Amino acid sequence: MTQPPVPNSGPVCVPCRLAVIGAVVLVLAGGFAYTAGWLTPARLTASRFINTFETVAGQPHPGYRRNHAKGLCVEGYFDSNGNGAAVSRATVFAPGRTPVTGRFAVPGGNPSAPDTSSPVRSLALQFQLANGEQWRTGMNSTPVFAVHTPEQFYQQLLAARPDPATGKPDPAKLKAFYAANPETLPFQNWVKAHPPSSSLANAAYYGINAFRFTDSSNTTRAVRWAMVPETPYAPITDAQKAAKNFLEADLDQRLQSGPLRWHLLLTVAQPGDPTDDATLQWPATRQQIDAGTLVLEHANSQEDGTCRDINFDPTILPAGIAPSDDPLLAARSAAYALSFQRRTREETLHPAVHQKLTQGQTAGQTQGQTQGQAQGDHS
Ligand code: HEM
């Protein structure tokens, strides 16, 4: 068989080819540079967030989360009663049991900060669904967040940076931030009216951001969730305020007497309720669904426990739950990923780092008390 003639392409233009290759390399490098934020230094990137969290923490804490650094791991399960299936087809809402790994924490970037450094406590959970999906959530003990947008949160962090002269945040800067951002009022008012709980076990934890729930007939509704404790709320005591580190010992003691329980309450929005603004609560009259019971049985240390290598990214969701249009969610996802990347890298490079810090914690406690106390680190 004869081959078709190959057309004569003429002399090869080497400079043209090199120019094309050079252009491709430039476009790729430009893409990387843009993604890294080098071309747009004013753009709010995950690295700007994480670098600023590190500055607010005052000194490096390698291997630890860049926010909510002080915490402990917990394990248990979620018993679904089937009621959540009315709003979501996620299999976690079918009747039955789902294993859960979690983490209690206190906001701020210092793993040795006193428990009294913030009025907020947090609970993060990873539900391991039987079909391989996961539902990860990070919840705080306030029903609203201080700020509406990632940019505002960044400005709040800047206002909370320690003053080089005192090593502490400048209260005047925080005051000026709050005055310039009246969206923070519902959060400030809520915190004033609700003293911190005496225990991690008797606080309610709120997902705060809205999510989109889709049921088995493809109807989608906006939903917020909260874990409401069976243990009755009690405010922090004067003795606890003076002790400064009491939350972990209190939890261990309670768990020795048996598991601790919370109810998963789903609040269903009505059309027109804001889904993109975590500073605003929905009216108290909204439908609430008790979807089942979270049961926590064991606690272990965050230095080598089951939650250490989990990134509680709130956008990791099972089919039937999706992110809303709340701008905080994408910013959270990006910032948590970079915090996770830095701390796990440090973990690998310096495996002894956690051990040293843990041993040094008691001695460093007093020093730690002057750091991570920024009122602005309530995420
Ligand atoms: C733009 C807004 C926010 C930013 C930049 C931010 C940033 C961060 C970062 C960097 C971490 C450490 C993540 C890790 O290393 O695993 C963290 C942890 C956490 N954040 Fe946020 N956050 C934001 C908003 C929120 C909101 C609205 C909530 C509450 C609903 C929240 C709750 C939590 C919780 C519970 C943790 C601890 C997770 C754990 O225990 O591992 N954050 N945040």
Tens of pLDDT along 34-93? 666 666 667 899 999 999 999 999 888 999 999 999 999 999 999 999 999 999 999 999
- Above 60 in pLDDT, residue 364? no
The pLDDT value given to residue 376: 41
* Catalytic residue list contains 350: no
Cβ neighbourhood burial of 59 (10 Å; 0-12, 13-18, 19+): middle
Tens of pLDDT along 265-279? 999 999 999 999 999
CATH number of 49-368: 2.40.180.10
- Above 70 in pLDDT, residue 355? no
Q: Is the CB of 105 under 6 A from ligand 1?
A: yes
CB-side neighbour CA atoms (13 Å) of 150: 18
10 contacts: CB under 8 Å, gap ≥ 6: none
Ligand 1 centroid–CA 67 distance in Å is 6
Q: Which of 50, 51, 67 to mutate to test the pocket of ligand 1 (most atoms within 8 A of CB)?
A: 67
* Nearest protein Cα to ligand 1, atom 11: 67
Q: Which two tokens stand for residue 340?
A: 């996770």
Q: Where do the domains of the chain lie?
A: 49-368
The SS3 assignment for 242 reads helix
Q: Is the CB of 138 under 6 A from ligand 1?
A: yes
Secondary structure letter of residue 121 according to DSSP: -
Amino acid at 66: R
What's the CA gap between 107 and 376, in Å, rounded?
Answer: 10
Q: Among 10-19, 116-125, 142-151, name the one with the lowest average pLDDT.
A: 10-19
Q: Tell me the backbone φ, ψ of residue 69, rounded to 5 degrees.
A: -75, -30
The pLDDT value given to residue 12: 73
Ligand 1 centroid–CA 211 distance in Å is 16
Give percent of the chain with pLDDT exceeding 90.
Answer: 77
Q: In whole numbers, what is the pLDDT of the chain averaged over residues?
A: 90
pTM for this prediction: 0.87
Q: Is the CB of 143 under 6 A from ligand 1?
A: no
Judge contact between 89 and 216, C-beta under 8 A: yes
Q: Summarize the confidence of residues 308-324 as an average pLDDT.
A: 98
* Nearest protein Cα to ligand 1, atom 13: 336
The pLDDT value given to residue 363: 36
